[in-house]
């Protein structure tokens, strides 16, 4: 069940740049948390990212390197998760 918790992709007005867009996930703006198929609360987003990073860290080094090259411009941000938080 969705709650009124702020979505991880919502951009507050003070942080918006050149456009009026209020959502980082959709280019059409925020339809509202209750109807948005991309809605994810901040706590759920953080937990999901931690889980995905743990899966990436568990892969063999060669596979991590291939994923980094294709999707992250050679960087491996999942390796440094503990240092950031």
Same domain, 54 and 36: no
Q: Which of 28, 23, 26 is nearest to 11 (CA)?
A: 23
Q: Is the pLDDT of residue 20 over 70?
A: no
Q: Model-level pTM? A: 0.66
pLDDT at 80: 79
pLDDT at 85: 46
Same domain, 60 and 78: yes
Same domain, 53 and 31: no
Domain that holds residue 12: 1-40
Same domain, 3 and 34: yes
Pair 9, 17: CB distance under 8 Å: no
Number of structural domains (the chain) is 2
Residue with tokens 């568990």: 58
Same domain, 81 and 53: yes
pLDDT at 39: 83
2 or 49, which is more confident: 49
């Amino acid at each position: 069940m969705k709650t009124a918790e702020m979505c991880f992709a919502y951009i507050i007005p003070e942080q918006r740049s050149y456009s009026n867009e209020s959502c980082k996930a959709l280019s059409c703006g925020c339809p509202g948390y209750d109807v948005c198929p991309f809605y994810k609360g901040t706590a759920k987003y953080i937990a999901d990212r931690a889980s995905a990073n743990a899966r990436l860290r568990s892969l063999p080094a060669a596979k991590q390197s291939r994923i980094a090259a294709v999707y992250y411009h050679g960087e491996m941000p999942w390796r440094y998760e503990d240092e950031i938080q």
